[in-house]
């Protein structure tokens, strides 16, 4: 008893919990900061809805059947759409996936199943660095290599290559992460049955991580589908339908850009329409990816 009395006297003659002015000031300051922090969160959340709202409200009027089936018309003619960009984006994405998925998948399998020691760290580090590359730098690389040297002109192939470089690190990271979640007992069981390692990977490990892998692939496609800067430098865009990979091919983001920077209000509406299409596709892909993960063993 005596001890506590001395102690409290030494520290402060008044209990720190007594509601004096200083306490009220601290309490008020705490409330104030809580308010500021809530405002910060509100700002963060509302920015997304603000942008989505703009895209929906201003983009929806542009959406009609022609928008999906017609090619862009010169200014002054009524109608026209973004069909060549839709087919072009599909073509480029398919080719990009054909290049990027095997490499990304293989690299992810290597990191999770085959790699040993520092080399794993090095490759993982390189993959992270590629993920952090500004997309325009990837564009300049492919532009300098394919457009100016190997192919000689802007081409769909160059666009696909640049998008595959953007896709690969995303695939690598998700594939490695989901493969590491596969329990070791499954691998051991397979190997104990005398299955060679490649069969173990293909028939046991990959199928049990299927949902996660699909999620990674879909997310990488969603990300690549919205990229603009590298495509601008590599395929340049095309107003007409083109299936020739060695020629410029249209793409939705490039068409959007061209519509947006033109001085005609009608084209601005079409730019918002293209944004609406792009965001819907990305939204659908992201939702699919999420559903695929949820349906899995986790």
Partner 1 sequence: MMTRNADNETSQPGAWEVEGSPNFARSGGVGADDVFKWLVYIAAFAVPTVLVALFILLVIDSWEALSRFGLGFVTSSNWDNVKEQFGTLPYIYGTVVTSLLALLIATPVGVGAAIFVTEYAPRPLRVPVSFTIELLAAIPSIIFGLWGFFALTPLMRSTVEPFMKSVVGPLPVVGSLFQGPSVGKDLFTGGVILSIMILPTIVSISREVLLAVPTMQREGMLALGATRWEAIREAVIPYARVGIAGAAILGLARALGETMAVTMVIGNSSRKITGSLLTPGYTMASAIANQFTEADNPLYFSAIVGVAALLLVVSAIVNVAARLMIWQISRGGAKGGNRG
How many helices and strands, by DSSP H and E, does the chain display? 14, 0
Is residue 152 at the binding interface for partner 1, with CB under 8 A as the rule? no
Say which DSSP state 169 is in. H
Q: Which residues of 109-119 are buried (b: 16+ CB within 10 A; e: fewer)?
A: bbbbbebeeee
Q: How far is the CB of 88 from partner 1 (least distance, A)?
A: 15
Nearer to partner 1, 129 or 291 (CB): 129
Q: What are phi and psi of 212, to 5 degrees?
A: -65, -40
What backbone torsions phi and psi does residue 239 show, to the nearest 5 degrees?
-80, -15
- What residues contact residue 281 under an 8 Å CB cut-off, 6+ apart? 222, 225
CB atoms within 10 A of CB 207: 10
Residue 209 DSSP symbol: T
Asked if 145 is part of the footprint of partner 1 (rule: CB under 8 A), the reply reads: yes
For residues 95 and 243, which CB has a smaller minimum distance to partner 1 in the complex? 95
Position among 6, 8, 20, 33 found at the interface with partner 1 (CB under 8 A): 33
Candidate residues 94, 144, 186, 284; the one interacting with partner 1 per rule CB under 8 A: 144
282 touches partner 1 by CB under 8 A: yes
- Position 123 contacts partner 1 (CB under 8 A): yes
The HSE-up count of residue 206 (CA atoms within 13 Å, CB side) is: 13
Tell me if 128 sits within 8 A of 67, measured CB to CB: no
Which of 103, 214, 245, 288 forms a contact with partner 1 (CB under 8 A)? 103
String marking each residue 235-274 x if it binds partner 1 according to CB under 8 A: ------------------x--xx--xx------x--xx--
- Per rule CB under 8 A, is residue 56 in the interface with partner 1? no
With binding defined as CB under 8 A, does residue 191 bind partner 1? no
Q: Does residue number 227 form part of the binding site for partner 1 (CB under 8 A)? A: yes
Query: Does 24 help bind partner 1 (rule: CB under 8 A)?
Result: no
Which of 70, 87, 226, 262 binds partner 1 (CB under 8 A)? It is 226
């Amino acid at each position: 008893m005596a001890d506590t009395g001395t102690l409290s006297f030494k520290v402060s003659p008044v209990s720190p919990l007594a509601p004096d002015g200083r306490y009220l000031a601290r309490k008020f300051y705490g409330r104030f900061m809580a308010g500021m922090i809530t405002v910060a969160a509100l700002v963060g959340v509302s920015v997304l809805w603000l942008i989505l709202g703009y895209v929906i409200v201003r983009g929806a009027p542009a959406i009609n059947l022609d928008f999906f089936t017609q090619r862009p018309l010169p200014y002054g003619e009524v109608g026209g759409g973004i069909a060549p960009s839709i087919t072009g984006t599909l073509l480029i994405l398919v080719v990009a996936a054909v290049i990027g998925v095997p490499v990304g998948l293989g690299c992810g399998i290597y990191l999770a199943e085959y790699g040993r020691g520092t080399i794993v760290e090095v490759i993982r580090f390189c993959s992270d660095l590629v993920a952090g590359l500004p997309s325009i730098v990837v564009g300049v690389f492919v532009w300098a290599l394919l457009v100016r040297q190997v192919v000689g002109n802007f081409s769909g192939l160059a666009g696909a290559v640049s998008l595959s470089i953007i896709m690969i690190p995303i695939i690598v990271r998700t594939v490695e992460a989901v493969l590491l979640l596969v329990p070791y007992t499954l691998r051991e069981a397979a190997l104990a049955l005398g299955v060679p390692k490649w069969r173990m990977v293909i028939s046991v490990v990959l199928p049990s991580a299927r949902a996660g892998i699909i999620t990674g692939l879909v997310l990488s496609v969603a990300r690549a589908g919205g990229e603009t800067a590298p495509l601008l430098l590599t395929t340049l865009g095309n107003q007409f339908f083109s299936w020739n990979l060695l020629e410029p091919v249209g793409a939705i983001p490039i068409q959007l850009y061209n519509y947006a920077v033109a001085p005609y209000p009608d084209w601005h509406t079409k730019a918002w329409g293209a944004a609406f299409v792009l965001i819907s596709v990305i939204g659908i892909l992201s939702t699919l990816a999420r559903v695929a993960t949820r349906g899995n063993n986790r």
